[in-house]
Amino acid sequence: MRGTLVAAALGAVFGVGSTLLADIVRSRRDLDERWSETKRTVYVRFLVTVTQTHGRMVVAAFSGLAEAERLRAVHDAFHTDPQHVEAQSVLRELAITAPDHVYKQADHVYTQLRELRDLLAETSAAFRSQEYDAVNEPYFELLEELQVAMRRDLQPAKPPTLLRSTRPSRSVSGENP
């Protein structure tokens, strides 16, 4: 009888222990998924905000306004978002949700966007001029680097295996094997 009680107690301990372990693992996975979704949301908000801000500034700068009006229009385009979300406020959200390397890259994008704002507001640089391209092209390069860093941060540690295409491959000469 003593052996039966010990076996029952051990069975109960293992049962409760495995249930607790499964709940802890499930809870951790759910927390990780929610955190990834939060970061994804903030990342998208930042990318959308800086892209829309860039577009509004370019439209304001090259719409043929007089110098004083252009200065005001570009600054308004930079600071006034129709969705009431300025890039700087979303950058602050990134500061608390993103890893340091992603935040630093986002800060570089924001700094380059400010440099573009200053150029567009204070000069009469023509669209696609060397002066404009010297500030605009680095903005897009930094934005691309940021997107890559964000994508890497959001990818799972072990990405799923991709299935190979069933389409026949083409050789370099264009002939099918």
pLDDT tens digits for 120-133?
Answer: 998 888 888 999 99
98-123: buried (b, 16+ CB within 10 Å) or exposed (e) per residue? Answer: beeebbebbebbbebbeebbebbbee
More confident residue, 57 or 83: 57
Q: Looking at the 3D structure of the chain, how many domains does it have?
A: 1
In a domain? residue 159? no
| pLDDT value of residue 162 | 55
- State the maximum Cα–Cα separation within the chain, in Å, rounded to a whole number: 98
**Average of pLDDT values for 71-85?**
84
Q: Which domain holds residue 114?
A: 38-154
pTM: 0.74
- Average pLDDT estimate for 54-59: 95
- Percentage of the chain modeled with pLDDT above 70: 86
30 found inside a domain: no
Lowest mean pLDDT among 1-10, 123-132, 134-143: 1-10
pLDDT, residue 177, reads 44
166 within a domain of the structure (yes/no):
no
Q: Is the residue at 11 inside a domain?
A: no
Residue 47 lies in a domain: yes
What is the pLDDT averaged over residues 28-36? 79
Question: Taking residues 142-166, what's their average pLDDT?
Answer: 78
Q: Where are the alpha helices (DSSP H) in the chain?
A: 2-61, 67-79, 87-97, 100-122, 130-154
| Amino acid letter for position 10 | L
Residue 21's pLDDT band (cuts 50, 70, 90): confident
pLDDT of amino acid 160: 53
Is 143 inside a domain boundary? yes
The tokens describing 97, both together, are 């949700």
Section 94-114 average pLDDT: 96
Average pLDDT over residues 123-144: 92
At 166 the pLDDT is 46
The answer to whether residue 3 is domain-embedded is no
Residue 7 lies in a domain: no
Range 50-79 average pLDDT: 93
What average pLDDT does the structure give for the chain?
84
Distances (CA, A) of 126 to 31, 35, 73, 78, 87: 50, 44, 16, 19, 25
